[in-house]
Structure 1
Amino acid sequence: MEAYPDIEIYLATARLEALNAWLGDTLDTPPLASAGKNRWRTQGQRDGHAITILLVAKAADGFASLWFDSPATPWTTDADCARDAAARLGCEVRCSLGGWQPGDDPDTFLQVLPDGQETTIEWPDSGQ
């Protein structure tokens, strides 16, 4: 499978020190820096490729959006990243199930819990 052109996951809790440790270990990033109200940004790298990373607090139903603007991440899909994030950050993580195409249900997401449990949910209307 070809790597997604970018990766986006949603974090139930976004503790900056835990995020900075994970991002530093995974993508050799400096700490996230303020980039405006409820936004933080940093620049990572992997195999010589730059990876812009943006965190937006309370982006959707109280979840923070974490976006990696590069196909050079260590994860092939959003789900791969969500699994890694849930395990490393110890929080619930959500992501889309794949690339959206016309006719797809845009509200179907993968919910990954820190214990590795995964469920397909309808979000935001799922009440989850």
Structure 2
Amino acid sequence: MRQPDIEIYLKDASQQAVSDWLQQAIGACTPWQRKGQTFKCNANGIPVTWLPRAVGKWHCLLLESAATPWPDDLACAHAAHQALAVEIRCAPGGWQEEEALEEADRWISVGQDGEREIRWHTD
């Protein structure tokens, strides 16, 4: 089942590198528009939000559509790591507000050593 949106966290990735990757993976991107602390653009009809340093050194990338080339966050994380050669983190699946808080700390890291589950307290 496709996720309704994609959310990944990238370590040490530049906004320009991410923009170039999105253009190659999805299609033409509009120029980034700053909205407070976030930046927004549109990649081939898909609304994109970039939040620099959302969690420490980690930048958040949100693709607000189910019409991405990736069915879920993990598939996108693998594609982003392959293209950008930086560590990527994503949730292991959709998280619901009703779930236990410890479930919110479960993340998957995709990096040089492959894929592994980690605990990441993001608050």
Report TM bin, short chain. 0.7 to 0.9
1:9-59, CA deviations, whole angstroms, 9 ceiling, x for partnerless residues?
Answer: 0000121221121111111132551413442221122xxxx2100100011
CA contact (8 A) 1:83 1:116 kept: no
CA contact (8 A) 1:87 1:116 kept: no
Q: Distance in 1 between the 2:53 and 2:40 partners?
A: 15
Structure 1 residues 63 and 32: CA distance shift in structure 2, 3 A: farther
Structure 1 residues 13 and 110: CA distance shift in structure 2, 3 A: same
Tell me whether 1:103 sits opposite 2:99 in the alignment: yes
Counterparts of 1:110-125 in structure 2, within 5 Å, are 110-113=108-111, 115=112, 117-124=114-121
Structure 1 residues 99 and 92: CA distance shift in structure 2, 3 A: same
Extract unaligned runs of 5+ from structure 1.
Answer: none
Where in structure 1 do 4 or more consecutive aligned residues deviate above 6 Å?
none
Q: Distance in 2 between the 1:14 and 1:31 partners?
A: 19
SS of aligned partner of 1:91: coil
With normalisation by structure 2, the TM-score equals 0.87
SS of aligned partner of 1:73: coil
The residue that corresponds to 1:5 in the other structure is 4
Q: Distance in 1 between the 2:20 and 2:117 partners?
A: 28
Q: Distance in 1 between the 2:6 and 2:29 partners?
A: 19
Q: Note the C-alpha offset of 1:60.
A: 1.2
| CA RMSD, Structure 1 to Structure 2 (Å) | 1.7
SS of aligned partner of 1:35: strand
SS of aligned partner of 2:20: helix
The residue that corresponds to 2:41 in the other structure is 42
Q: Note the C-alpha offset of 1:124.
A: 2.2
Structure 1 residues 7 and 79: CA distance shift in structure 2, 3 A: same
The residue that corresponds to 1:20 in the other structure is 19
Percent of pairs identical after alignment?
Answer: 30
